[in-house]
Structure 1
Amino acid sequence: MSIRILTDSNCDLPSDIIHDYDIDVLPILICLGDKEYEDGITIDSYEVYKNMKQGSVYKTAQIPPNEFKKKFRQCADNKETCIYIAFSSGLSGTYQSSILAKNEIQEEYPDLDVTVIDTKCACMGQGLVVLKAAKMAKEGRSKEEILEAVKFYSEHMEHIVTVEDLEYLYRGGRVSRTSAFIGGLLNVKPIIDVRDGKLVPFEKLRGRNKVIKRIMDIVDERGKSLEKQTIAIAHADDLETAIKIKEMIEERFKCRDILITVMGCAIGSHVGPGTVAVFFLNEESPI
């Protein structure tokens, strides 16, 4: 029985990887006023970033249960095993939508073989989990082996994020007007990571260069066997900084497998243009 790897567009994997590894991706909904778009299909991240710079405020909506039902029904009809690798339940209701859909579809298809995983990851943190699973599925590995790897990667994935402008976090209701204003005056840049599936600021520094240097130190402190890993860098319309970070990681840690990707509409609409993030494992994978 073939194994289908299903995920959502929050994973931010590059399109060539999605194609090469036959990954099935459901789009998160992006809303601007009364207009609704599908992430990466009817709107792209560069359009979102351009509009955000001009003052637009986007919101996101979870994938409706009916969209999951369609996918799960296809798997049942094709007698496929499906592993849905979900965006963190601490940041979206999409995981719950998939559970609701699975429970309803299994009444119709009692033999449906669907496993839903809450990665507690976001952006390319989730993407690296999905990529590992997709590679293993393509190699013909068993469902149990893939689930073991997904569990390990999900539990040991680091997300180190910095935003360029606190104004975007203010617009999305994530910081106060005062914090955004003072942060802008002082050129304060927060460093954020993901704890228990939620974005948590844990340091603040003044100036972009200091932040990037500190991110490198955090990678050094937390990463294990970095030269053996696939490391991901995501950026929100700031390729120059992403390339700079890539070169620093290559030189300092002798890493050669580094992915750079554009942060998608869903995550990007909350953190804003200029955001960059690094994703890596804090333990060496046994799989």
Structure 2
Amino acid sequence: MNVQIIADSACDLPNSIIEQYGIKRVPITVHLNDTDYLDAETIDPKQVYDAMRDGKAPKTSQVSPQTFKDLFEAYAQAGQSCIYLAFSSELSGTYQTAKMMQQEVLEQYPDFNLHIMDTHCASLGYGLVVLEAAKMAQSNHSLDTILEVATYYKDHVEHIFTVDDLEYLKRGGRVSKTAAFVGTMLKIKPLLHVEDGKLIPLEKIRGSKKVLNRMVDIMKERGEDFSQQTIAISHGDDVKRAEQLSTIIQNTFQPKEIIIHTIGSAIGAHSGPGTIALFFLNKPMK
């Protein structure tokens, strides 16, 4: 490949896609039970979700500066052009760390062609950006063309998601203790989306069955031409509901492809078990 695509593990892409398209994945660290794990490498998401169900509160930390420096130096020495597509800077400091290390490495290797892009995306919304860039790279498109496509995707990918229990958002400071208690008692399911890389509450739905249909309604309101799209659904250890959502979408829109995958340990440590997230382009690229 002319261009190496780099992503961090918050993209939540399945290993099969990572390997198929030669994506270099950099792991975020997950702290659980006084042990540090590497997301997508040394810990399974189910371990995190089971621990959260048992009342544990896993933490995460961004990719270390040294990890980025070692990686960038290795590609610089090999003369390999790279694009690092980063997890939203509004949700992690990983993008800023990568930018700092880029500056250091370029001082030593001024001819190194390294571009770093803040996708403002998360989970498989981020994954769709990475996947499209990796497809372009594998077909040996130019770096500028790949950047143009990645920019379009990051600007047009929608994130619509719900959590099963407001308790997990409360732990992460997303809602107050009172709101979490009342929401749980009334079986209220919050719908959220991502705007400029930030998690923004959208509306509240009473009853989990209504949530999936409302997600599809929002998809209809915001998107178009799904027959040419790859749709992504990620879930917090709840493949049954993810497949229910997939069936509704398949019957309603007949998209080109639907990817379903578990939300990884890094994102899942904050969203919790039972999360269901839907990703699509609001305007497909022509």
Shorter-chain TM-score: which interval? over 0.9
Q: How does 1:158-197 map to 2 (within 5 A)?
A: 158-197=158-197
Quote the residue 1:272 is aligned against: 272
Quote the residue 1:25 is aligned against: 25
CA distance in 2: counterparts of 1:157 and 1:281, whole angstroms? 4
Question: RMSD in angstroms over aligned alpha carbons?
Answer: 0.9
Kept in 2, the 8 Å contact 1:82–1:115? The answer is yes
Q: For structure 1, list consecutive stretches of 5 or more residues without a partner in the other structure.
A: none
AA paired with 1:183? G
Q: By how many angstroms is 1:17 displaced?
A: 0.4
Q: By how many angstroms is 1:31 displaced?
A: 1.3
Q: How does 1:188-227 map to 2 (within 5 A)?
A: 188-227=188-227
Q: How does 1:23-172 map to 2 (within 5 A)?
A: 23-32=23-32, 34-172=34-172
Tell me how many residue pairs correspond in the alignment. Answer: 286
CA distance in 1: counterparts of 2:162 and 2:85, whole angstroms? 25
Displaced runs of 4 or more, over 3 A: none
AA paired with 1:215? M
For normalisation by structure 1, the TM-score amounts to 0.98
CA distance in 2: counterparts of 1:89 and 1:17, whole angstroms? 24
CA distance in 1: counterparts of 2:150 and 2:256, whole angstroms? 23
Kept in 1, the 8 Å contact 2:2–2:141? The answer is no
For normalisation by structure 2, the TM-score amounts to 0.98
CA distance in 2: counterparts of 1:75 and 1:224, whole angstroms? 39
Q: For structure 2, list consecutive stretches of 5 or more residues without a partner in the other structure.
A: none
Q: By how many angstroms is 1:79 displaced?
A: 0.7
SS, match of residue 30 in structure 1: strand
Identity, in percent, stands at 49
CA distance in 2: counterparts of 1:152 and 1:174, whole angstroms? 29
Q: By how many angstroms is 1:57 displaced?
A: 0.0
CA distance in 2: counterparts of 1:157 and 1:47, whole angstroms? 29
AA paired with 2:282? N
SS, match of residue 170 in structure 2: helix
1:56-87 residue CA offsets vs partner (Å, 9 max, x unmatched): 10111110111111111111111110000000
1:206-250 residue CA offsets vs partner (Å, 9 max, x unmatched): 001111111010001111211100000000000000111111111
CA distance in 2: counterparts of 1:173 and 1:11, whole angstroms? 23
Q: By how many angstroms is 1:44 displaced?
A: 1.3
SS, match of residue 114 in structure 2: strand
SS, match of residue 31 in structure 2: strand
Q: By how many angstroms is 1:33 displaced?
A: 5.3
Kept in 2, the 8 Å contact 1:57–1:172? The answer is no
